[in-house]
Amino acid sequence: MYATVIHRNEPFSDVIEMVKSALASQGFGVLSDIDVAATLRAKLGVEQAPYRILGACNPHFASRGIAIEPMLGVLLPCNVVVREVADGVEIDIQDPTAMVRETENDGLTDLSREVQVALHAVADAL
């Protein structure tokens, strides 16, 4: 599986703030916040349930990873999707070990596991 999935029943905007807070507690900042629903509505006239992609980055992990694999930036930041579903809100947190396998750089294995532990702590907080 390439993501951890969490289901919440709170309002969408509350879940966004919960996710940002949980990420911050593990040293992640949100570098980007892409409102997919608003973009599809503005560009294509397509109505979409609320769907946001939060680009999360822990600078310590990112710095270490880029030092090991300079091209790692094409796989960063770690994405967290928050989307409205029929029975609430779903949070999908990217699995960094799945992402790093694409590099075929064994030097990233231990680091990706550290990032995975931190993101699992985020999931547990949610």
pLDDT digits (tens, 9 = 90+) for 65-111: 999 999 999 999 999 999 999 999 999 999 999 888 888 899 999 99
What's phi and psi for 92, nearest 5 deg?
-115, 115
Which residues, including other chains, have CB under 8 Å from residue 100's CB and lie 6 or more apart? 75, 108, 109, 111, 112
* pLDDT (0 to 100) of residue 77: 94
Contacts of 70 (CB under 8 A, 6+ apart): none
For the chain, the distance separating the N- and C-terminal CA atoms, rounded to the nearest angstrom, is 19
In this model, does residue 120 exceed pLDDT 90? yes
What phi and psi values does residue 39 have, to the nearest 5 degrees?
Answer: -65, -45
Residue pLDDT, tens place only, 29-69: 999 999 999 999 999 999 999 999 999 999 999 999 999 99
Domain edges within the chain: 3-125
pLDDT higher than threshold 90 for residue 117: yes
Please tell me the class of the 3-125 domain.
Answer: alpha beta
Is the N-terminal amide bond of 50 cis, ω within 30° of 0? no
> For the residues of 73-120, what is the DSSP string, one character each?
GGG-SEEEEEEEETTEEEEEEE-HHHHHHTTT-GGGHHHHHHHHHHHH
